[in-house]
Structure 1
Amino acid sequence: MLLIEVINAREVVRQRIGKLGARLIGKIVDPDKQVEEALIQEMETAFKEFGIEAKITSVSGAQTIGTGLIELPIQVRNIKEVRHKE
């Protein structure tokens, strides 16, 4: 199982939408959701190329602490199943 925590979502979105749009971050634009959706799309494409079947779950609330601890609870934002067709 892989766990990926994006720690610079605000900066990534700020770079993509510029200074004017940066004012909307947190008000209208959810940077974590935006970056996660882009990552899920990229992972789905790569997984299909390699024939990998997976379930990608986007959650909020979980946070890694150091190297050995994950803080919960979580709220599921989105689940994407990647399957290859035979």
Structure 2
Amino acid sequence: MIIIEVTNARDVVRKQIGRLGERLIGKVADAESQVEKALIQEIENAFNEFGIEARILSVKGPNLKGTDSLQIPLQIREERDVILNN
């Protein structure tokens, strides 16, 4: 299992759409979920290239506590199954 924590979602959104866009997206959508959605798409594309089938979940709730602990109250934001198109 691989866990990826995006730690600079607001910075990524700011770079992509600017400060005004960041303010607007903050009101309309969660910057973290937008970055995760884009990241999931890139991972799906890479997995398809390598022939990897997987289940990718974007969840709200887990919190890393230091380097040795993870709290997991899960709320799934997005789910995608990567299935090979033979």
Answer whether TM exceeds 0.5 for this pair.
yes
Question: What count of residue pairs does the alignment treat as equivalent?
Answer: 86
- Match for residue 45 of structure 1? 45
Match of 1:11 in 2: 11
Deviation at 1:16, TM superposition (A): 0.8
Give structure 1 regions of 4+ aligned residues with deviation exceeding 4 angstroms: none
Shift of residue 21, structure 1, vs aligned partner: 1.3
Q: Which runs of 5+ in 1 are unaligned?
A: none
Cα deviations across residues 14-68 of structure 1 (Å, max 9, x unaligned)?
1111122122242113101110010000000000000000000110011111111
Q: Does 1:65 align with 2:65?
A: yes
Q: Does 1:36 align with 2:28?
A: no
Which residue of structure 1 aligns with residue 84 of structure 2?
84
Shift in alpha-carbon separation, 1:24–1:83, aligned structure 2, 3 A: same
Q: CA RMSD in A?
A: 1.1
Give the AA of the match of 1:77: R
Normalising by structure 2, report the TM-score: 0.92
Higher helix share: 2
In structure 2, stretches of 5+ residues that fail to align are none
1:21 correspondence with 2:21? yes
Counterpart residue type for residue 12 of structure 1: V
